[in-house]
Amino acid sequence: YIDNVPISAPVVQEEISGGKAQITGKFTIDEAKKLARNLSAGALPVPVKLISQQTIGPALGAESLDKSLKATGIGFLTIILFLLIFYRVPGILAALALGIYAVLVISLFKLIPVTLSLAGIGGAILSLGMAVDANILIFSRVKEELEQGKSFGISLEQGFTRAWPSIKDSNFTTLIIALILFAFGTSFIKGFALTLSIGILISMFSAIFITQNFLRCFEGTRWEKFKWLWK
């Protein structure tokens, strides 16, 4: 019996010895397999009753995706606050550059399009961290040049020149790894590699062109005379 429904009614025709028995009859191959499977599984003591059910959305589920996006937003705001406190005016410019970076990344995600799985969000967050790292390298180099008494324009030029090799090496090595993961990884890994690659390319563009042009807007103005705003 399974759920009080008989599945077989064999008749014992001879003594069962050795603990083994055989059921014979006019079975098709499929019927014999089904009977053997039911006998192997055993009878359930009670019928299965539906207690609760939950619908999970694609990839992560709506709740998990919402929490991941909230965590990304909190992290983004925390990074901007850090830049404002420790780098003053350059921090404000970096915050604007990161805002443009975020808009460009989201736009490309929509155009390609990119499915935001857990791995994809992880790749986007990692690329955001690399974008912040590039800005910090630039500001640190510019600050060092200003502390040596150099002019604002020269400090910007030499600061970007000295920061570029480190930014280039770290981003390109990570990009190579991301491309390898995309070529040989599973679909889950490919999502991570794709968002990371897009983020890296845009982060380099943001740091070298957007941040640099923002800083150069202050070159030759009275704001560059207030050294404490840039150190």
For 17-30, write each residue's pLDDT tens digit: 766 767 777 777 77
CA 28 remoteness from chain centre? 52
Pair (155, 188) in one structural domain? yes
Please tell me the predicted confidence (pLDDT) of residue 175: 92
CATH of the domain at 106: 1.20.1640.10
The amino acid at residue 39 is L
Q: How far apart are CA 65 and CA 57, in angstroms?
A: 9
Pair (71, 147) in one structural domain? yes
Name the E strands within 57-125. Answer: none
Residue 86 lies in a domain: yes
Answer whether residue 4 shows pLDDT above 70.
Answer: no
Pair (25, 116) in one structural domain? no
> Which residues lie closer than 8 Å to 198 by C-beta, 6 or more apart?
105, 108, 109, 112, 114, 127
Pair (76, 151) in one structural domain? yes
Give the SS3 label for residue 127: helix
For 1-15, 95-109, 195-209, 215-229, which range has the lowest pLDDT when averaged over its residues?
Answer: 1-15
Residue 54 lies in a domain: no
Pair (158, 127) in one structural domain? yes
pLDDT in tens, 171-194: 999 999 999 999 988 887 888 999
pTM of the predicted protein model = 0.64
What's the total number of domains in the chain?
2
Burial level of 122, CB count in 10 A (0-12/13-18/19+)?
middle
Q: How far apart are CA 46 and CA 153, in angstroms?
A: 81
Residue 138 lies in a domain: yes
Answer whether residue 12 shows pLDDT above 70.
Answer: no
Residue 57 lies in a domain: no
Residue 67 lies in a domain: yes
For 40-44, 76-80, 120-124, which range has the lowest pLDDT when averaged over its residues?
Answer: 40-44
More confident residue, 28 or 131: 131
Residue 139 near residue 90, CB atoms below 8 Å:
yes
Pair (41, 107) in one structural domain? no
Pair (36, 112) in one structural domain? no
Residue 52 lies in a domain: no
Name the CA dihedral angle for 199, 201, 204, 205, rounded to a multiple of 10 degrees.
Answer: -110
What percent of the chain clears pLDDT 70, i.e. is strictly above it?
A: 76
Pair (25, 75) in one structural domain? no
Pair (125, 220) in one structural domain? yes
pLDDT in tens, 54-74: 565 555 556 676 777 788 788
Pair (91, 183) in one structural domain? yes
Residue 114 lies in a domain: yes
Average pLDDT over the chain reads: 80
Pair (68, 35) in one structural domain? no
CB atoms under 10 Å from CB of 67, counted, come to: 12
Q: How far apart are CA 135 and CA 171, in angstroms?
A: 13
Pair (196, 91) in one structural domain? yes
Residue 116 lies in a domain: yes
Structure tokens at 41: 């599984």
Please tell me the predicted confidence (pLDDT) of residue 153: 85
Segments forming the whole domain that contains residue 154: 62-229
